[in-house]
Structure 1
Amino acid sequence: MSYAFRTTYRQDAETYVEDRGYAHTVTKGQASFATLDAEFGKILAVGQTARRNSEGDGWEVVDGFPLLDSVKAVKLAEINRAYESTLAALTPTYPNSERLTFNKQEEEARAWDKDNTAPTPLLDALAAGRQMDKAELVRRVLVKADAFTVASGLLTGQRQRMEDALEAAASVEEAQAIPVAYSLDPVAGIV
């Protein structure tokens, strides 16, 4: 019998994993937590899953969370959320619109660094707006771009390592046990 319609797993007192065609984690404090807790808090102990095929069916409660793919999807979402959050923390003071110019700034700075007659309309405008010498602006852009490249490379490598471990996980327990933590320690002092 297929239980693809709906599956809800109680991970702990403050976390449910719900699957209605896509697995997602619902934690205490989120709007939908109270609804889930009202529905499942009394029928599910921690570590149990309720599943059914359709609205008319009753809930079947089983121990564990037998859907490894769902657990992997939830863990991958956790890995990716933490990655995005950690990466965003590298540039917290920049508005998104400015971040969208970073690649162009770097492109122009590298071109000007090789040939100081290369056209650099964005850097020219930035230097004028900041009332800063263009050579100094180019130097700063390149220093920041290089530091960000190393830091983002390190974080991306860590994310890929976690994803590799997740793909290799053969059980729900292995998938759930993968620690999600990012660190810039190997590049301390450059960011």
Structure 2
Amino acid sequence: MVTGLTAAALVAVGVLAYQAAATAPPERGGPRAGVSPAPGPARTPRNERHPDALPARSGTGERVVYSVSDDRVWLVGDGDRVRRTFRVTPSTVDPAPGTYAVTSRSNRVTGSDGVPIEHVVRFTSVDGVVIGFSAAVDGSTARPGRGVRTGGIRETRADGEAMWDFATIGQKVVVVR
């Protein structure tokens, strides 16, 4: 019984934390908490012979790398070894280039577009829109409708499961152009 009550309390706290983060007003007069601007040019240089190669200047150590302009993610393990890379469907609201950390996760919820999603890994918000990776339960990866402000970066279910296993709370997420 104690275990059940503890689990219910943890779920409630997680939901409340997510709602608070999603509705918090943007900070004024300075950089957003947890964000450090990425150095370098507007677009991170790529290996022309190997376009799926990990972008240069995308950080070091274990991390998730997300390229906004290439709509691609790299899961990078120890020794800067790419464990997995895959294409994603971007949301309508992009995170700024910089270094973030995974702040919350949900196994299954309904996305802001009304689609049931799983393996949600959140790492920032922009003007009240929470940004994170997720997979639609029905496997769809359609682009969000025009005029809809969403922060869900959609993955296939298999890629979403890999992200879920890799990106636990506190995991570094590097966003590059």
Q: Normalised by the size of structure 1, how large is the TM-score?
A: 0.21
1 or 2, which has the higher helix percentage? Answer: 1
Higher relative contact order (CA 8 A, sep 6+): 2
Q: Which structure's CA Rg is the greater one?
A: 1
TM-score (normalizing by structure 2) = 0.22
Higher normalized strand content (fraction of residues): 2
